[in-house]
Structure 1
């Protein structure tokens, strides 16, 4: 097997594009057996550490593993940075689908961009493998026959972290929310669990996204509400900055709890254990869970300057692997709808998530985990950060299909 790296070339719409071809030279005369996957992500912005280059590596590793057992299939993985701009993301995706022969789009870590992308792949009869966006609307009112939602969503995060904190007596909340579809959905889902448990939401501060780096005025508003919990309905470097500034204000010392509702291992690494210790968070994957996750991480880390994979990087591996199984089973150039239908009809299985299913609404279902961030003295070394507080069974980890508004689900 040989890996070749094509040079960067500029897109007319302004997105930077790089291409990696993973193939055997003997197969180059078989263009009908090419599968082309485009990783559309945040390569340099606030979500880059949790998605971005790591999502590309996850996709490439899946392609390598699949081609090893299916030498008649050639997989190409390309990438682009859409700078978290939905308009740019849609322009890049349209160019990929119309002119560059891309079959499936992976990642898309901005919910507003993903919601638009769902319509585009349906229009073009291609595939979207959404591993990065969080909005549960992708399997609700915005479900569709040409996309699946992998890894996590706002409902699963709220069900994990929100439920745990309310059960622990944190019954009054103030939200600091990224002002776009993802933040709104995460706030709404978490607030629903708070209210169902008898708690109250005392207020919300909406922060412009992208572009907010100083969260001090929003933290002051939250503190003035006297809420027991400040729920951070944001992600990536925005959450890290919120937590750093909250520490400067001494909010935790004054008894205010901070709920990082989407907080991943790269964020813990950026914040550092002294500041992150004791945080409760919900994830779908931890690199140190078992031999299989450690083996994957050992392949991944050398390509990412020693960093360990997070759940979205692992989700990219898992989603690409299942999609390639569909392509192999269906033969040359099936429609996007046919590939998604196969993915729903056949159970998932991979070394990172084990066995699972893709429901009729497009939701990939598996266990989720409630983790506690270790204190520095508990950690055995870099990236050894989590203690498992609870395993959330698959049938409890994601929103039930009934009543969610997906037209693909029988009434």
Structure 2
């Protein structure tokens, strides 16, 4: 009896060890590596940059530092807003360094290049900082997810709202690369659909510092609204110089089509007050957003998070939960699990990831407070409207994504 028991125990132990080894073998090299690829030295540094890396690290720490028996590591790099540099880093991460998924990637031209590389290698890109809606349109990928916002949602929110307020004649001042082109295109469509009119546009180099000639064209256009279709440092400089030119004092309105909390902080409320914007997150929305944001600020020099930084945390947690459920870091398997699971956290309630990779969640139409209305640091926005996700983002029926069943 003793011998039989011993043999049975040994057999059970061998089977258990084999099963555990097989399960662990599904995590490549027994490490889940997360790469945060963004601008850490240029005009988009503040909206994500080191703060985006910190958000990913917070998520890993909150998850416990390991998943499905494997250690989790976070690596980061600066793509300098250049597609060739971003592509080289992505290739090295995937081929040499064992990175399983890349997060963030602001600058649409870089994001489109990196998504194509990830698609070819069966790896995951979860984008936050890039805006072009083409990431889930004609350039969609079975392993690509667009999490935080896109040009369609920004156009639908800000463009549609201002036309409804009576500002019907628009002129666009646009960054001359993939993001600016997409934002201009989507906002023009939203303005026209709402009954507005586009009287002209001008495109500026990316990045840029002197906007005087472009602003003079906008000022002389006779437009009621100047749609500022750029981001980060370009937006800050555009709005500052528009104020110096007395454009808003002359009766024209500025529409910051992509404004981040950090931009408003740089501009100050005296310059930015009254601007209407669309965002996917605001730190002061409710108790949950405030609690997480205060934790983030404690490790980010007191700075409250942008929607990109909050979105990175949210998506990393969702990604790790999918690995835990599948016991795998294989790209298509993990994305399939992420799409099956609703997103319910401080960033999104009832969020869903569609077949085209778009994470659908509520967006928020905000107005920037006056200095008198603001009661504390980073108390910058007041909520005008909540835009339900199915109204904010491009409907699947209009999608150019080849993954969408027609």
Change (3 A) 1:31 1:180: closer
SS in 2 for 1:55: helix
Deviation at residue 198 of structure 1 after TM alignment: 2.3
Q: Is the counterpart of residue 357 in structure 1 residue 352 in structure 2? A: yes
1:382 to 362, 369, 377: 377
**C-alpha contact 1:67 1:75 (8 A) present in aligned 2:** no
Q: Deviations over 1:338-358 (max 9, x none)?
A: 111111122122222233110
Deviation at residue 68 of structure 1 after TM alignment: 6.4
Q: Which residue of 2 aligns with 1:344?
A: 339
Q: Is the counterpart of residue 279 in structure 1 residue 275 in structure 2? A: yes
2:158 to 161, 164, 167: 161
**C-alpha contact 2:318 2:338 (8 A) present in aligned 1:** yes
Q: Is the counterpart of residue 246 in structure 1 residue 213 in structure 2? A: no
Scaled by the length of structure 1, the TM-score of the pair is 0.90
Deviation at residue 64 of structure 1 after TM alignment: 1.0
2:403 to 381, 388, 408: 408
TM alignment of 1:52-131, pairs within 5 A: 52-67=49-64, 72-131=69-128
1:48 to 34, 45, 49: 45
- Coordinate RMSD, CA, aligned: 1.5
TM alignment of 1:285-364, pairs within 5 A: 285-332=281-328, 334-364=329-359
**C-alpha contact 2:259 2:277 (8 A) present in aligned 1:** yes
Deviation at residue 33 of structure 1 after TM alignment: 3.8
Which segments of 5 or more consecutive residues in structure 1 lack a partner in the other structure? 1-26
**Counterpart-to-counterpart distance in 1, 2:349 and 2:306:** 16
Deviation at residue 117 of structure 1 after TM alignment: 1.2
Larger radius of gyration: 2
**Counterpart-to-counterpart distance in 2, 1:74 and 1:341:** 22
1:206 to 187, 203, 206: 203
Q: Which residue of 2 aligns with 1:11?
A: none
Off by >6 Å, runs of 4+ in structure 1: none
Q: Deviations over 1:173-218 (max 9, x none)?
A: 11110000000000000000111122211111111112x1000100
**Counterpart-to-counterpart distance in 2, 1:296 and 1:45:** 27
Which segments of 5 or more consecutive residues in structure 2 lack a partner in the other structure? 1-23
Q: Which residue of 2 aligns with 1:8?
A: none
Q: Which residue of 2 aligns with 1:366?
A: 361
Which has a greater percent of strand? 1
**Counterpart-to-counterpart distance in 1, 2:298 and 2:83:** 32
**Counterpart-to-counterpart distance in 1, 2:375 and 2:66:** 36
Q: Deviations over 1:103-157 (max 9, x none)?
A: 0001110111111111101111111011111000111111110110010000000
**Counterpart-to-counterpart distance in 1, 2:361 and 2:369:** 25
Change (3 A) 1:118 1:69: closer
Q: Is the counterpart of residue 39 in structure 1 residue 20 in structure 2? A: no
Scaled by the length of structure 2, the TM-score of the pair is 0.91
**Counterpart-to-counterpart distance in 1, 2:374 and 2:158:** 22
SS in 1 for 2:34: strand
**C-alpha contact 1:356 1:364 (8 A) present in aligned 2:** yes
**C-alpha contact 2:211 2:241 (8 A) present in aligned 1:** yes
**Counterpart-to-counterpart distance in 2, 1:247 and 1:124:** 47
Q: Deviations over 1:73-122 (max 9, x none)?
A: 42111110010001100001100100001000011101111111111011
Change (3 A) 1:207 1:316: same
**Counterpart-to-counterpart distance in 2, 1:241 and 1:347:** 39
SS in 1 for 2:241: helix
**Counterpart-to-counterpart distance in 2, 1:263 and 1:273:** 13
Aligned residues: 381
